[in-house]
Amino acid sequence: MIYTLTANPAIDYNIACDGLTANTVTRTRNAVYTPNGKGLNVSFTLDHYGVDTTILGFFAGFSGEFIVKGAEALGVPVKPVWTDGITRVNVFLNAGPDTEYNMVNAGAAINEANEQEMFELIDSLDDMTCLVISGSLPPNTSEGFLAEVLRRVKAKGAEFVLDISSHQLADLIALEPLLIKPNDDELLDIFGIKVSGGDDESVKGAMAELHAKGAKNVLLTLGGAGAYFSNGEHIWFANRTFDVKLLSTVCAGDSSLAAFLSVWHDAPERVEDALRLSMATGANVVECPGLGDFAKVDEYKKHIEVRQVC
């Protein structure tokens, strides 16, 4: 069973308008409220591709109840740790072609007792084979929370995947994650490593450095410019050969990671298939509010190019 941990979930409120003008009433349209958070998106996408998954996270108040009930209504089980406060609501506004406004709130604070409950919950999960940790941490999270989670996962003999933008990744990578999924901005911000899309030599150096630090596998995403994958022996590059109509990039990275895992986790030799599905899924999702329905993925897969770099 692949579990996901979203420590700081949210309701995502996606809306659109024809532009923003200060001090006037803006009429919006296409309002969509979705149970969200990076780990939740991973689970929803894994479930879509037929992979057994369960959501872990901290939830609070009426918005937390909305997320838990919404996830379960979609057929994905949730094992919540309930906290005080109100789970955050994030606002994503599409204000015209290539114009997005992303308003992301801090979230409900957690305390030591909440963390301990999560540790004990993880200890009880005998069917866990992999834990995917995605997204930000809520206010008041202790400095050692993620490291303790990973220690307990490793003690169970399970693997873990990290998709976090926190600077803690620079230290946590030494615990030998099965996979990390930085984008090019995170790579520079967290590790001080600069890469350029299409510059295979810079990517080779970056991958070698990340493996030396402890990562077993690396999925490096470059937004619309494609993605690289390295297993420590070989590197592949994948890119799409078509344009997409951008509506929202919010869930694209999460869905791309999950699509990749849905193929590669149980069949690591199928890198090219995993990359095609990953890129096609991400391309479809950016055209939708939230995750959408993955309706164009099969068609888009036909137009993903994958080559082995080395």
The pair of structure tokens assigned to 142 is 């202790």
Tell me the pairing of strands 159-163 and 179-180. parallel
Reply yes or no on whether 254 is catalytic: yes
The beta strands (E) that lie in 9-117 are given as 10-16, 29-36, 53-59, 78-82, 88-94, 100-103
* Rounded Cα–Cα distance for residues 99 and 125 (Å): 43
The tally of CA atoms less than 13 A away on the side-chain side of residue 96 is 5
* Rounded Cα–Cα distance for residues 284 and 293 (Å): 9
Strand partners, 229: 219, 236
Q: Sheet holding 2-6: strands in order across?
A: 78-82, 53-59, 2-6, 130-134, 159-163, 179-180, 218-221, 227-230, 235-240, 304-308
- Measured in degrees and rounded to the nearest 5, phi and psi for residue 281 equal -65, -50
Strand partners, 6: 57
Which residue is catalytic, options 127, 254, 273, 298? 254
* Rounded Cα–Cα distance for residues 232 and 221 (Å): 17
The residues annotated as belonging to the active site are 254
